[in-house]
Every structure is written in C-alpha cells, then in structure tokens.
A = this chain, B = another copy of it.
C-alpha cells in the first residue's frame, strides 16, 4: 500500500526490499577515493567495444548482470527494467537491455534517472505491478562529452564550474518484502525548477534550487530534521551546487551540513582534475549502488535520503537559448536491524 504523507511524500507501507545492488565504473572513477567500493572497475573505458555508446551500454549491462548475480536471479525473474541515460534516445540503456527478454520502460530524468527509476520501481513493486524489477542508469565521459560539448580530441578548456561526466553505471534489484534489510520507505517526485540558468557549464547552479525544493518538501512532509537521517545525499550538484543548496537551506533555518554529501563531490579526488565534481546519470547511480548501499548493508548507515538531481537541457535547447531547469527526485532508504 502506498500512503500519501503531507503534501507530496509517498510512504511505502510494505517497504519494497533492495534484493541486490551493483556499480560498474571506468578507470578514472576506479582510481578515485571510492574506487575500492565498486563491483567492477574497467581496465579500459572502451569496455572492448567498437564505440563509446556500446561501451556505455556494456557498462550498464555489467551493473545489471552483477546485481542480478548477487541477488541469485536471472533475467527471467524480472517483471521489468526501468533504465535511462543521457544519450540521445537513451541508446546506452536500450542497447544494454535489448536482448534481455524483459519488459523495458525507458526513463529520462537527466542525471536524476537513477532516483526516478528507484522511486517509480518502488511504486510498481508496492502497488503490485511488479514482483521483481531492475532500476538502472549510466553515463560515460566519452559518449557524453562528444554529444554535449566538444569532440574528445579537441581538448577544450573546462571552466571552474564545469563537472566531469562519470563513466559509471549502477543497478538495483527491487522486490516485494522479504528478509532483506535495506528497504525503500518513502519517495518524493520532483518538480522542474527553473531560475534562469543558461550556462551548460554550471549545472550545479541549475540543479540546486530543485534539490532545495524537494528536500524542504520531504523534511516538511515527514516532520523531520536533517539529523533524523544518517546521510542526505544529492546526486551531482558538485562543489558549486552543493554550496548553493546549503546556503538556500540555511536561509530557511535548516542546517543540512552535518549529514550532507553529494555523489558528484565524493566521486573524484581533488587531484583528479574533475573541477566542480562528477556528474552524469552514472555518477549518483554508481555512488548509490557502490559505497552508499555497501555502507547500509554493513550497518554504517541506517537511514539514507538519496536525492538524485538532474538538469533538463539538451545541446539543442542550450544553443537555442532555453533555460536549464533542475529536477530532483528523493528516495528514503532504511535499514532494519
């Protein structure tokens, strides 16, 4: 059963369970501070494929396959796959699952896609529409860079606010309640929030107001304080966006800092030249499905808010001068003893 709490929060009474999770990342991500906590680190970001798009799809396929193996399940046990990525027509995702023989529902929430899929997936499991499903998302620096910015070989300069698209993928297997300890307890679907940002090299600023909107609504609905959670993590605000979010919240008398992290800020070390931090659908997907869920499984985190952030834009919309809207979907994960 799904209950509505307050204005916008959904509560999953049956607490859909995370049956397994897996993260697969590229070489640079594997060399970062979280490297040891991913299930798979590519030796070569080409993943043995002929194109970067196929490499991304292979990375997502690796995350899904690994999560299924960890859950002791096969494709045939799934009722559907919810997946998405940043590429035109979400090619990374549909190629990853094209031969899976599992019903497929493509999702597009920009970099918030993992959170969107996880929240929707919890609705489907809790509502009885699916017994077991996979939610997955991916991004790849090389496929994204040439699509959104410059040809790879061009070696364009990056601005200080620019973020580095993660070569990464994450997948979770969700299912109806059993003895598994990690559960999805709440979700809140985000609104697009647009405050006039048009700089595609400053996504953090475009997304922070959406994260503010979603997190204040969630805390309000739950009558909760940040301290009620062990960790509240945004998807890929990066250093710039994270600062804006903390400032906006402070203006409302909310101090998020004691429990706050951002996947984009966590993924790369300062020496890795990732400027304002990691980004891309795969950034939050891999940090959730790698280190964060490992920490939950190990009992280091009991209550986590995963607030996936996305910037609604396309190379065309930016070139046509359209503003960039942020969106942020939140999922609350809890570990039972």
Report yes or no: B53 in contact with A316, Cβ–Cβ below 8 A: yes
Report yes or no: A128 in contact with B3, Cβ–Cβ below 8 A: yes
**A89 (CB) vs chain B CBs: closest residue:** B314
A104: Cβ under 8 A from any B Cβ: yes
A181: Cβ under 8 A from any B Cβ: no
Q: Which residues of B contact A124 (CB under 8 A)?
A: 123, 127
Which of these, B2, B94, B131, B316, contacts A192 with CB under 8 Å?
Answer: B94
A63: Cβ under 8 A from any B Cβ: no
Question: Quick one: which of A53, A108, A315, A320 has the most chain B CB within 10 A?
Answer: A108
Report yes or no: A54 in contact with B320, Cβ–Cβ below 8 A: yes
Q: Which residues of B contact A317 (CB under 8 A)?
A: 53, 89, 91, 95
Q: Give Cα distance in the complex from A128 to B187, angstroms.
A: 13
Q: Which residues of B contact A109 (CB under 8 A)?
A: 105-106
Q: Which residues of B contact A131 (CB under 8 A)?
A: 4
Which of these, B2, B54, B89, contacts A110 with CB under 8 Å?
Answer: B89
For the complex formed by this chain, how many copies does it contain in all?
A: 2
Report yes or no: A90 in contact with B103, Cβ–Cβ below 8 A: no
Q: Give Cα distance in the complex from A322 to B315, angstroms.
A: 23
Q: Which residues of B contact A103 (CB under 8 A)?
A: 8, 188-191
User: Count of chain A residues with Cβ under 8 Å from any Cβ of B?
Assistant: 61
Q: Give Cα distance in the complex from A99 to B194, angstroms.
A: 8
- Which A residues from 311 to 329 make CB contacts under 8 A with B? 312-317, 320, 322-323, 325, 327
A80: Cβ under 8 A from any B Cβ: yes
Report yes or no: B99 in contact with A105, Cβ–Cβ below 8 A: no
Q: Which residues of B contact A327 (CB under 8 A)?
A: 104
Cβ contacts A100-129/B at 8 Å (1 or 0 each): 111111111110000010001001101111
A-B contact list, 25 entries, CB within 8 Å: A8-B79, A10-B129, A54-B320, A54-B322, A86-B89, A87-B316, A88-B89, A88-B315, A89-B312, A89-B314, A89-B317, A90-B108, A94-B192, A98-B194, A103-B190, A104-B190, A104-B192, A105-B116, A105-B189, A106-B108, A107-B108, A120-B120, A123-B124, A126-B129, A127-B129
Chain A interface residues (CB < 8 Å from chain B) = 1-4, 8, 10, 50-51, 53-54, 79-80, 84, 86-91, 94-95, 97-110, 116, 120, 123-124, 126-129, 131, 188-192, 194, 312-317, 320, 322-323, 325, 327
- Contacts beyond the supplied A105-B120, A107-B107: 17 A-B pairs with Cβ under 8 Å: A51-B320, A87-B316, A89-B108, A89-B312, A89-B317, A90-B108, A94-B325, A99-B192, A103-B188, A103-B190, A103-B191, A104-B327, A105-B109, A106-B107, A123-B123, A123-B127, A126-B129
